[in-house]
């Protein structure tokens, strides 16, 4: 089993290697706990049922467990292609992801963020830089690795043109008026070079100062038990909120086709796209009204 995982890991990203290490750690602990060796042909429906219970006892969240199981199933499937012996029941476990607590920002909230005036002189410039960069993300649907590395060369004839880092494809997004103003504000040299950990830390500070304190209640399963918590909205905002907000607001305009938005976000199926964006009854009503996304 480890040999198959290592073959897969060598061809994947650094993040995959981290997940691989976590999976192998748990499989090794499971093997030691139950005094058994795990091979490709021992990954059965019964094994996965027991392994899920073990992972729940490790107090892992449901979606983390789902991710582990799906990767194990994928690797066993690949092992079969390598002519390893496998048990066909491994694929009979069908787990579903829970909806996450990810939030999105409406166009009204993005406007509020964009026009907010920071009062304290100390760190005002630093806050403005983080805020402006975040707003660009909220209006382009780019990942942080892409919107944090934009230069004046990426602003071409009213469009943001970028070769994406993760998927290595060229995207072309109409530049929102706010994006144009931000490029002009910095003479094309928009804020960059901020590590994502620093960015996320101070982004929350900024969102709290702006007053995005609506209460958000959500539930998730951890350790096999349902947990319900309430947080203020600023606590749930991160660099990735920008991309999710852009995708959701583009959809809410009612003027853009789903497949067109998916070309920007990189989602391959509409099912995954609709699970990614965030819609409420109020949002749907706004969609019907047909607000313009690429305008003030």
Angle between the 62-81 and 45-57 helix axes, to the nearest 10 degrees? 150
pLDDT tens, residue by residue, 106-164: 999 999 999 999 987 668 888 999 999 999 999 999 999 999 999 999 999 999 999 98
Strands 215-222 and 225-232: antiparallel
Residues 6+ apart with CB under 8 A from 97: 62, 63, 66, 275
- Selected residue with higher pLDDT from 134 and 285: 134
* Lowest model confidence (mean pLDDT) among 12-21, 48-57, 63-72, 134-143: 12-21
Predicted confidence (pLDDT) per residue in 205-251, tens digit: 999 999 999 999 988 899 999 999 999 999 999 998 998 898 888 88
Region class of 159: left (phi > 0), else alpha (psi between -120 and 50), else beta: beta
Whether 278 shows a pLDDT value over 70: the answer reads no
**How far is C-alpha 51 from the chain's CA centre?**
26
Query: Which residues, in sequence order, are bridge partners of residue 216?
Result: 231
Average pLDDT of the residues in 33-48:
87
pLDDT of residue 2: 59
Residue with tokens 């796209």: 273
Q: Provide the pLDDT for residue 78.
A: 85
Full-model pTM? 0.76
> Mind listing the pLDDT tens digit for each residue in 189-199?
888 878 899 99
Tokens of 52: 């899920």
pLDDT at 40: 81
In DSSP notation, 216-268 reads EEEEEEETTEEEEEEEEGGGG--HHHHHHHHHHHHHHTSSS-HHHHHHHH--S
Q: Are 38 and 27 in contact (CB under 8 A)?
A: yes
What local confidence, expressed as pLDDT, does residue 280 receive?
56
Q: Round the average pLDDT of the chain to a whole number and report it.
A: 85
Max Cα separation, the chain? 66
Q: Is 61 helix (H, G, I), strand (E, B) or coil?
A: strand
């Amino acid at each position: 089993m480890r040999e198959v995982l290592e073959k897969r890991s060598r061809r994947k990203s650094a993040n995959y290697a981290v997940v691989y290490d976590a999976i192998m750690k748990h499989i090794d602990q499971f093997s030691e706990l139950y005094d058994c060796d795990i091979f490709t042909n021992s990954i059965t429906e019964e094994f996965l049922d027991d392994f899920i219970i073990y992972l729940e006892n490790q107090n892992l969240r449901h979606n983390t467990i789902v991710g582990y199981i799906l990767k194990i199933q994928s690797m066993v499937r690949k092992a079969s292609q390598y002519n390893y012996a496998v048990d066909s029941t491994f694929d009979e476990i069908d787990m579903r992801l829970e909806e996450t607590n990810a939030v999105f920002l409406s166009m009204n909230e993005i406007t509020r963020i964009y026009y907010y005036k920071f009062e304290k002189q100390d760190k005002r410039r630093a806050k403005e830089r983080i805020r402006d960069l975040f707003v660009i993300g909220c209006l382009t649907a780019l990942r942080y690795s892409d919107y944090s590395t934009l230069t004046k060369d990426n602003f071409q004839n009213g469009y943001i043109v970028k070769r994406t880092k993760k998927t290595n494809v060229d995207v072309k997004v109409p530049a929102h008026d706010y994006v144009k103003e931000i490029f002009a504000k910095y003479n094309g040299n928009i804020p960059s070079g901020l590590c994502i950990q620093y960015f996320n830390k101070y982004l929350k500070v900024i969102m709290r100062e702006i007053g995005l304190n609506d209460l958000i209640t959500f539930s998730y399963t951890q350790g096999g038990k349902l947990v319900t918590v309430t947080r203020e909205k600023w606590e749930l905002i991160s660099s990735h909120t920008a991309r999710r907000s852009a995708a959701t607001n583009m959809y809410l305009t009612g003027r853009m086709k789903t497949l067109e938005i998916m070309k920007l976000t990189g989602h391959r199926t509409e099912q995954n796209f609709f699970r990614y964006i965030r819609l409420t009854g109020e949002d749907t009503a706004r969609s019907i009204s047909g607000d313009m996304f690429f305008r003030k």
